[in-house]
Amino acid sequence: MTASLPPAIPAADLAAHPVERAETIPSAWYTDARFAQADHDWIFTRTWQGIGHAAQVERPGSYFLAAIAGEPVIVVRGKDAVLRAFYNVCRHRGGPLALEDGCVNALQCRYHGWTYLLDGTLRGVPAMDRTELFDRKDFGLVPLRVETWEGLVFVNLAADAPPLAESVGGIAERIAPIRLGALTFARRVDYEVRCNWKVYVDNFLEGYHVPYVHPELAKLYDYTRYTTEVYDRYSLQHSPLTGDNLYSRDDGGEAFYYCIFPNFMLNILPGRLQTNLVLPVGHDRCRVIFQYFYDDVSGPGAAARIEEDLAYSDAVQQEDIGICERVQQGLASQAYDRGRFSVKYETGVHHFQELVRAAYREGMARRPSA
Ligand code: FES
Ligand SMILES: [Fe+2]
């Protein structure tokens, strides 16, 4: 799909600069549909997308559906226990193999009933016996790369993308003894936000706005010790927890906020993980999928603690949605084109925007006519 990519991008806009001297990316990158196409072609079709978790595909035959960059995807656990991903697209005339999550012995197309084994092999083909030079072997499901990390399932549309480990390497070691893969899934909540997906990610990546947008949240942290670290493909904001609150433990505990390029966040508090997946829906809209995982989902008081966490997170999220939607309007204003970064607070935003610039540089370089 190359509907209409941006015309040539000025080299100056693509050049990397250290945070002290960098400008923010141009406002058109958030407001012009051609850059939404660039994000699709140059970022979302080439990066690992954290679309689910292992408990959704625990039993042989269990599967879930997702969409990545507009592509319908099915992730299924085989009878051999191997996790596989395919395009959810039948090789006959493009029908869907499933319409909702479930558990099956084989995948049967909902259009004319072609049946595929869980490894993607085409098996049953009703009324195809008079079709000449047709070999079922040539019509297996089209596979996709899938990897699991700490109980989270990632799929990548690009066959030549680097392994997932290059995107998440070092995180598990850093947060030990916390083990994300040992937590239990509890809840999913989706939000529709009227802003470009990069506005939402930018906002996640700095604590600069916390005292102004989230005065209640500000009480959770020891601001003097809130720090940002950047790595190749992710950044980390972390802070000791302060005071007596829903999340603090006897030893106080620590908050870790990871953003894995381009659009997947891990919000880690003692005994709890919240993931955020930010999906573009057009140039000025995104959907954010929250998943909640806990160390205790059934013990005494667990249900109440989870409800309290969900309510608290939702309040913070509503504050972020409010400001992100106003920022989208501001970016679209003729008054604004680009700004500067706080070196103290916005190194994570700068790091993310530099990765966007790098993806655009590579995308432009690959264009046949560029
Ligand atoms: S499209 Fe799948 S069987 Fe026809
Ligand atoms: Fe926020």
What CATH number is given for 11-44+169-362 in this structure?
3.90.380.10
Give me the pLDDT at residue 7, please: 85
125 C-alpha to center of ligand 1: Å?
A: 9
Tens-level pLDDT at each residue, the chain (370 residues): 457 999 889 999 999 999 999 999 999 999 999 999 999 999 999 999 999 999 999 999 999 999 999 999 999 999 999 999 999 999 999 999 999 999 999 999 999 999 999 999 999 999 999 999 999 999 999 999 999 999 999 999 999 999 999 999 999 999 999 999 999 999 999 999 999 999 999 999 999 999 999 988 777 766 667 899 999 999 999 988 876 677 766 667 889 999 999 999 999 999 999 999 999 999 999 999 999 999 999 999 999 999 999 999 999 999 999 999 999 999 999 999 999 999 999 999 999 999 999 999 999 999 876 4
Considering every ligand atom shown, identify the ligand nearest to the alpha carbon of residue 217 and give its number: 2
Asked whether 212 lines ligand 1 (CB < 6 A), one says no
How far apart (Å, rounded) are the C-alpha atoms in residues 223 and 214? 13
Name the residue type at position 233: R
Tokens in use for 296? 């205790």
Site to probe by mutation for ligand 1, drawn from 90, 99, 110 as the one with most ligand atoms within 8 Å of Cβ, is 90
| CA-closest residue to ligand 1 atom 4 | 112
What CATH number is given for 49-156 in this structure?
2.102.10.10
Burial environment of residue 256 by CB neighbours within 10 A (0 to 12, 13 to 18, 19 or more)? middle
pTM given for the model: 0.96
DSSP 203-233: HHT-STTHHHH-TTGGGGB-GGG-EEEE-SS
How far apart (Å, rounded) are the C-alpha atoms in residues 332 and 334? 7
Considering every ligand atom shown, identify the ligand nearest to the alpha carbon of residue 115 and give its number: 1
Tokens in use for 212? 């102004």
Asked whether 109 lines ligand 1 (CB < 6 A), one says yes
What are the φ and ψ backbone dihedral angles of 52, each rounded to 5 degrees?
Answer: -170, -170
Environment of ion ligand 2 (residues, CB < 5 A): 320
Give me the pLDDT at residue 370, please: 47
Strands of the sheet containing 143-149, edge to edge, are: 49-53, 152-156, 143-149, 83-87, 71-77, 62-68, 102-103
How far apart (Å, rounded) are the C-alpha atoms in residues 11 and 159? 29
Tokens in use for 179? 């083990």
Considering every ligand atom shown, identify the ligand nearest to the alpha carbon of residue 122 and give its number: 1
How far apart (Å, rounded) are the C-alpha atoms in residues 107 and 114? 8
| CA-closest residue to ligand 1 atom 3 | 112
Buried b (16+ CB within 10 A) or exposed e, 131-159: eeeeeeeebbbeebbbbbbbbbbbbbbee
Judge whether 33 and 59 are in contact, CB under 8 Å: no
88 C-alpha to center of ligand 1: Å?
A: 11
288 C-alpha to center of ligand 2: Å?
A: 14
The bridge status of strand 122-124 relative to strand 71-77 is: unpaired
Name the nearest CA neighbour of 63 among 30, 90, 86: 86
Asked whether 171 lines ligand 1 (CB < 6 A), one says no
Judge whether 158 and 46 are in contact, CB under 8 Å: yes
Asked whether 139 lines ligand 1 (CB < 6 A), one says no
Judge whether 226 and 242 are in contact, CB under 8 Å: no
Task: Note whether 11-44+169-362 and 49-156 share their fold.
Answer: no
Looking from the CA of residue 94, the nearest atom of ligand 1 is 1
**Three-state secondary-structure class, residue 79:** coil
Task: Return the domain boundaries, the chain.
Answer: 11-44+169-362, 49-156
Any idea which residue has 């999550």 for tokens?
A: 101
